[in-house]
Amino acid sequence: MDSKTGESSSSAQASADALYCKWGIWNPVLPSKTDTTFPLKKGKITLFSDFFKFCNFRLAITKFCKLVLDHYPIHISQLHPFGLVKLRQFEFAYIALGHIPRLIVFRAFFVLVWKSPFFYLQQEGHRCREMGPKDKVTDDGPLKDAYMANALYTRLCGCPFECTVIHEGALVMAGMSLLWRDIKLYPSFQRDDEGEWSLFDFVDPPPHATLKVADRMIGEQEPDVLKIHLEQFLLPVVSANPAAYVSHPSPSGVSSVSAAEAK
């Protein structure tokens, strides 16, 4: 191996290690040149870095995310980041309005469409997804009577919003992330005019208002912010200690795990 190749390899590993630490990715293994996105070896999944950077995606995944993937059914590796960001944005908006996300309302807004080599979620277009030349599965969507009277559907229709990267503390408060730096702190936000910044303001910000982070210490009788949302996640083992799911691996730890699994 020449020096340039070695430097390039070290730089790539350092970049990967930083990614693992930032997003709390468990036991990662970089794909080899012969690996395919889908299908994969048993017990393995493919996650794209854009999922974490731009789609507000976190591990562990939420039960609603799995509900959507199971409904169609598709593998997360088959969903384009543009589709995943819509799924996550819908989930956050529904929770921000004080309700549990519902699959039937999600399907009223989005249709799954196949555009090789990925699936996309789009708001308009033909309700058909092609799995292959001879295999078509229609996605007709729910009947209008099933969702038109839903108050949350009406609210979301009346207040459209753009997809955006949501503050980590807001994702934690919504029960969509376990990546929180200190369970003794409670995420809190204010506007620069001292008004309250609600969760929904993250997707539909008020005009001429600036967000101010104002995290506070939790009270003696308050549960930590991660523990109260654990049931919303699909966890391998339900633990009373949320830190078990959010501890970031050190770069050296990631390297050793990856090397061991590669063997």
Q: Do the domain assignments include residue 54?
A: yes
Q: Do the domain assignments include residue 58?
A: yes
User: Regarding beta strands 128-132 and 135-138, do their DSSP bridges make them parallel or antiparallel, or are they unpaired?
Assistant: antiparallel
Contact 4, 242 (CB under 8 A): no
Q: Do the domain assignments include residue 6?
A: no
Q: pTM surpassing 0.75?
A: yes
* Greater model confidence, 57 or 206: 57
Please report which helix (H) or strand (E) contains residue 71, including its range: helix 63-71
Per-residue pLDDT of 87-124, as tens digits, reads 999 999 989 988 899 898 888 888 888 888 889 988 75
First and final C-alpha spacing in the chain: 20
Asked whether the predicted pLDDT for residue 127 surpasses 50, the reply is: no
Q: Do the domain assignments include residue 111?
A: yes
Phi/psi of residue 101, nearest 5 degrees: -60, 140
Contact 23, 58 (CB under 8 A): yes
Look at residues 134, 117, 118, 115 and name the one whose alpha carbon lies nearest to residue 126. Answer: 115
Residue 76 structure tokens = 């997360």
Cis ω before 262 (30° cut-off from 0): no
- How many other CB atoms are found less than 10 A from the CB of residue 79? 23
Judged by DSSP in three states, 7 sits in helix
Contact 112, 72 (CB under 8 A): yes
Q: Do the domain assignments include residue 217?
A: no
What is the count of structural domains for the chain?
A: 1
Q: Do the domain assignments include residue 245?
A: no
pLDDT at 85: 93
Segment among 6-20, 98-112, 157-171, 200-214 with least mean pLDDT = 6-20
The residue segments making up the domain with residue 140 are 48-178+225-238
Q: Do the domain assignments include residue 90?
A: yes
Judged by DSSP in three states, 34 sits in coil
Look at residues 208, 177, 153, 160 and name the one whose alpha carbon lies nearest to residue 60. Answer: 177
Q: Do the domain assignments include residue 204?
A: no
Q: How far apart are CA 50 and CA 250, in angstroms?
A: 21
